[in-house]
Amino acid sequence: MTFEFIPLQEHTGSFNMSFDLYLAEMAADGRCFLRFYRWNPYCISLGATQKIEEINQELAKKDNIDIARRPTGGRAILHAEEVTYSIVLPANSGISAKELYEKTSKAIIKGLIFYDSRLNSLSLVEEQPNFFEALKKKSGAICFANSAKNEIKYFSKKVVGSAQRKMNSSLLQHGSIICGPKHLDIVNYLVLSEEDKKIARKEMEEKTISLSEILNEEASDYFKISDCLLKGFQKEFDFRIKEIEMETI
């Protein structure tokens, strides 16, 4: 299997989400893609069916925070100090949605251990949470407030959040690898009282952790992180890499 690889780049939220969908369309012809990217400006992305009214749009605009909608499910994420990945396969690749989710998480763990061996305590979430109950909490509008099965945790705290979308002819998965604590600021943009925002932030702090917090130092060399992630994907999937430019797809 050959993956067409697009190295780390920065784009707006609407571009990033549109381009992931475009890759999913191209995968219908039997092509496989792997891409790493960041968000410029920082961006709040909403799950496919999430109500935008849950976000204080005026404050986000004032703070130069983009708002975009993901083609996948889940809740709100503030994309800031992170590396985002997307992996796209044709539906007939022989890898099921469940297998892709698990293998991708294992690939990311391998890559992060390449980045720093102190991350060897990362592991997969083993049980599916009760999302219905989770949505009742003050942090219910936030994606990183809960961990799904086979997402990546550091002990009990979530480090990577991922989501999938099955299409007729392809399978898209993308996710956020949180490198710094800026993702916690999502609570500032929720339409909640100040007291409820404090509760939501506390819930987030108890349930998430960034690479910089684990390592007790900045994890802001995003190109190095993405290079190590690529090694992790190659090791887990054992595929050939063909580096491409966006313009050539």
Q: Answer yes or no: is pLDDT of 147 > 90.
A: no
Q: Answer yes or no: is pLDDT of 132 > 70.
A: no
Residue 247 lies in a domain: no
Residue 42 lies in a domain: yes
Residue 104 lies in a domain: yes
Q: Judge whether 43 counts as a catalytic residue.
A: no
Stated pTM of the model: 0.92
**43, 143, 179, 228: the active-site residue:** 143
Give me the percent of the chain exceeding a pLDDT of 90: 86
pLDDT, one tens digit per residue, over 81-116 is: 999 999 999 999 999 999 999 999 999 999 999 999
186, 78 contact by CB (below 8 A): yes
Residue 249 lies in a domain: no
87, 6 contact by CB (below 8 A): no
Q: Which residues contact 228 (CB under 8 A, 6 or more apart)?
A: 111, 112, 114, 115
Q: Which residues contact 28 (CB under 8 A, 6 or more apart)?
A: 90, 91, 167, 168, 169, 170
Give the pLDDT confidence score for residue 140 in this predicted structure.
Answer: 57
| Strand partners of residue 177 | 83, 160
CATH of the domain at 153: 3.30.930.10
- Domain count of the fold of the chain: 1
At residue 45 the predicted structure's pLDDT band, cuts being 50, 70 and 90, is very high
Give the pLDDT confidence score for residue 139 in this predicted structure.
Answer: 47
| Strand partners of residue 236 | none
At residue 133 the predicted structure's pLDDT band, cuts being 50, 70 and 90, is low
Host domain of residue 8: 2-240
At residue 195 the predicted structure's pLDDT band, cuts being 50, 70 and 90, is very high
Residue 246 lies in a domain: no
Average pLDDT, the chain: 92
